[in-house]
Every structure is written in structure tokens, then in C-alpha cells.
Amino acid sequence: RTNPSAKTESALSPYACQRRTTMDNHNKIFTDALEVLAENLEFGGNQGPSLAFRRAASVLKSLPAALKHLQETQHLPCLGEHSRAVIEEIIEYGSSSRVEEILNDERYRTMKLFSSVFGVGPKTSESWFCRGLRSFEQVLNEPSVRLNRMQTAGFLFYEDISKPVSRTEASALKIIVEEAVISVNPSATVSITGGFRRGKEFGHDVDFIIKTPEAGQEDAILTAVIERFKSQNILLYSDFQESTFDLRQLPTHCFEAMDHYSKCFLIIKLKREQETDARAGRDWRAVRVDLVAPPLERFAYALLGWTGSTLFERDLRRFARLERGKLLDNHTLYDKATNTFLPANTEEDIFAHLGLEYIEPWQRNA
Ligand code: 8DG
Ligand code: MN
Ligand code: MN
């Protein structure tokens, strides 16, 4: 006999921050399809509707086994009629006709190609597509196209940076970043964040967060690290954004993956283990690296924000607001009932403030 209260307890939450989602996705065939539908809507500027597909995919990623029958989705949250129809079609025929159509669609394919360039977002991709451009060659030969510095670097190093970065390469980069940071400030530390902290084997970049005990040194440490990379001749591109953090302006009401910390978006030369590309005559490849340096007392919030996944972060903020009357961002947690900021030394503190069970980084792949 089933115990009804036990059933309630095990029911999946509609909030990603109340689910444990590891890297082993047993429902990739469904989640890939749902994410193509989401991406296609995002390319058209329809963020709202795309989120329904993102949420549906995320719920499936947290399941302990592959779906075999549509009935198994009956008690799952966030699965709308449209998502269920897609799942049903895949269970029955192995693929979704709508998804196949999108994958063959000229607009989708072109938007996907253009937005794979560092510095090129959906808006730029769209404007190129609308001008009739369909390939990199056409973009680069179009007189009316003006590339900014980031996009110029994006095209210049496209072949290298479109190749996924491995965990081994991420570890090699950590040593390089650590060496540079410590040479500038021996009491500073470097931690890997982003996808690799969640246990991913490959990433589109490597994200690092720098902890420095001296207040107000966040900008100085990043500029010094950048100078060091320059003098080592391993800096290919750098976009440094100085801190605009101001405690008096908290809480910020922008619930995007944006913050006011000192940070930089880099392209770095990484030495290859053995010279595999002898013809090209170079013993390095270009990799994308992000560095962020928050003030010490903000570290836990910054780490939580930069660990991701994007949907996990979005649901943490939404849960805080709707279920707890609190405002969460990458800097702080604000309690609207008491008009106070809640301090945190660790990520565990933040989950505790929110009355949430702690979710480990490798369980945040929502
Ligand atoms: P990937 O690189 O393997 O593709 O995955 P990822 O590591 O999860 O994605 P990411 O694009 O590198 O972003 C990592 C986290 O950093 C993500 O949760 C969003 C967060 N993030 C912030 N602020 C900022 C920001 O200002 N710029 C960028 N690019 N990411 C930010 O919290
Ligand atoms: Mn990343
Ligand atoms: Mn990143």
C-alpha cells in the first residue's frame, strides 16, 4: 500500500532550486528537443514562452530514469500541453516533427551559427540574417557590417574557441590563473566556478572567482593579472569591467545574470600538451576565460551566482521572491518584511536564509 503523505514528500518541486539535478541526464532525447524549441523562441525574442520549454526540460533532467510512457509525466510540474505533445511524439516515433522542422529551418540554422561567435548575441544575429547574410564569409565581406572589438576577436579565434574546453584544460588554466593571482597578492585565492564547478566535463569557457581579503583591491588585482598575462605573451583578448558595486544601491532590481563586480572576459593562449597542430606551427590554442573578483563579504553571493546553472539561478531568485518575500541577486539577500540585508559567509548560509535544503554545486545542473 502506498502512503499518501510519503507521495507528497517525494513530489517534484516546480522550483529548480528544490530539485537535485546532476550531470547524468537520463532524458537527453527529450530535453534536447525541448531546448531546441526554447532556443528557437529565444531567437525570435520570445523569452516568456521559451521559458516554459526550458522549465519542462529542466524537470526531465532531474528524473532518476528515462521516461517510457506519457503517463509518467502526469504528476510532473512545469509540463504544459505543448511539451507533453512533444514528449509523446518522441516516445512514439523517436523524434518530433516540429523539432526536425526547426533544425532544418534556414533562419534557425543561421541564427545558431551567428550567435556561436563570441560577442554576437541574438539581436546582432537577427540583423545580419535580415540583411540576407547566411554565412561567416558573407558577414565578413559585407561593407555595412561593423564588427566591434569583441566580435573581431570572436571571428579571429573562432575555430579554437568554438571547440569545447576539457576539464584537463580547465585544470591547466587554473594553475596559470592561480600563479598570476598569487604573484600579485599572495593572500588571494582562486576557485573554479561556472559549469566546471557543477561537474561538467566540457565548457564553452572556464570561469574563475578570486577571493581577496583586502577590501577595495578587487579592480587592482584583475588589472595586475591582465598585465601579467600580457607580459607572458598569453593574452589574446581582454575586456575588463571595473567594479560598479555600491552597497547603497542594493538591492538591485535587475534579476538578470548581471552584477556590479570587477570582472574580465578574456581569451588566453593555452599551451598544448604535445604539438598536434605542427602544420599551423603553433603549440597553443585559444580559450575563453572569465574572472570575477567580488569584495570578501560578498563572496558567498557571488559564488552562488556564478556557479549557475542559469535556470537554477533564475529559480533561486523566483523562489526567494514569491515564496519567502526576499530579494536575491549576485550581491545580497534582502528581507522585505524586516527591511534588512542578510549576511552570508557560505552558500550554505544563503540556502538556510531561504529555508531551502542545501543543494551541492554538482546538483545544480537544472
Ligand atoms: P559553459 O561555460 O560550460 O557553457 O556553462 P556555464 O559555465 O554554466 O555558463 P557561463 O556562461 O560561463 O556562465 C556561468 C555563470 O556565470 C552563469 O550562471 C551566469 C553567471 N554570470 C553572472 N554574472 C555574469 C556576467 O556578468 N557575465 C557572464 N558572462 N556570466 C555571468 O552571475
Ligand atoms: Mn562557463
Ligand atoms: Mn562564463
Judge whether 74 lies within some domain: yes
Write the pLDDT tens digit of every residue in 108-167: 999 999 999 999 999 999 999 999 999 999 999 999 999 999 999 999 999 999 999 999
Q: At what angle do helices 28-43 and 81-93 cross, to 10 degrees?
A: 130
Domain boundary among 78, 102, 126: 102
Domain containing residue 249: 165-300
Closest by alpha carbon to 323, among 310, 306, 336, 342?
336
Ligand 1 centroid to residue 281 C-alpha, Å: 33
In a domain? residue 242:
yes
The ligand placed nearest to the CA atom of residue 292 is 1
C-alpha cell read off for 313: 539561478
* CA distance linking residue 107 with residue 120, whole number of Å: 16
Quick one: which of 159, 151, 88, 89 has its CA closest to 123? 151
* Same-domain status, 323 and 202: no
Q: How many residues make up the chain in this entry?
A: 366
The residue among 330, 303, 306 whose CA lies nearest residue 317 is 330
Average pLDDT over residues 169-189: 97
**Nine cell digits for residue 23:** 550531470
Distance of CA 353 to the CA centre of its chain: 24
Buried b (16+ CB within 10 A) or exposed e, 95-125: ebebbeebeeeebbebbbbbbebbbbebebb
Average predicted confidence (pLDDT) for the chain: 94
295-317: average pLDDT: 97
Same domain, 294 and 267: yes
Which of 147, 174, 209 is the C-terminal boundary of a domain? Answer: 147
Residue 313 Cβ inside 6 Å of ligand 1? The answer reads yes
Same domain, residue pair 291 and 343? no
**Pair (223, 176) in one structural domain:** yes
CATH number at residue 185: 3.30.460.10
Asked if the structure places residue 132 within a domain, the reply is yes
Whether 294 and 204 share a structural domain: yes
Q: Are 165 and 279 in contact (CB under 8 A)?
A: no
Task: Looking at the structure, tell me whether residues 336 and 270 fall in a common domain.
Answer: no
Backbone phi, then psi, for 208, in 5-degree steps? -125, 145
**Which among 300, 327, 347 is the end of a domain?**
300
CATH number at residue 117: 1.10.150.20
In a domain, 37, yes or no: yes
User: 138 and 185, same structural domain?
Assistant: no
Helix, strand or coil for residue 302? helix
| pLDDT band per the 50, 70, 90 thresholds, residue 4 | very low
Check if 207 has its Cβ closer than 6 Å to any atom of ligand 1. Answer: yes
Q: Are residues 169 and 199 in the same domain?
A: yes
**Has residue 158 been placed in a domain?**
no
Distance between CA atoms of residues 355 and 357, nearest Å: 7
Does the residue 285 lie in any domain?
yes
CA distance linking residue 261 with residue 275, whole number of Å: 38
Please state the atom number of ligand 1 nearest to the C-alpha of residue 308: 18
- Whether the bond between 122 and the residue before it is cis, its omega within 30 degrees of 0, is no
How many angstroms is it from 194 CA to the middle of ligand 1? 6
200 within ligand 1 shell (Cβ under 6 A): yes
Total domain count for the chain?
A: 4
Based on the fold, state whether residues 265 and 356 are members of the same structural domain.
Answer: no
- Model pLDDT for residues 255-292, shown as the tens digit of each residue: 455 899 999 999 999 999 766 656 668 999 999 999 99
> So which residues are the catalytic ones?
205, 207, 290
Name the DSSP letter for residue 65.
S
- Bridge-partner residues for 209, per DSSP? 191, 292
* 199 shares a domain with 231: yes
The answer to whether position 157 is within a domain reads no
Q: Say whether both 83 and 191 belong to one domain.
A: no
Answer yes or no: do 291 and 233 share one domain: yes
32 occurs within a structural domain: yes
Distance 242 CA to ligand 2 centre (A): 20
Output the domain CATH number for residue 88: 1.10.150.110
Q: Residue 48 class from Cβ within 10 Å (0-12 exposed, 13-18 middle, 19+ buried)?
A: exposed
- If DSSP codes are grouped into helix, strand and coil, which group holds residue 165? strand
Each residue's pLDDT tens digit, 26-66:
999 999 999 999 999 999 999 999 999 999 999 999 999 99
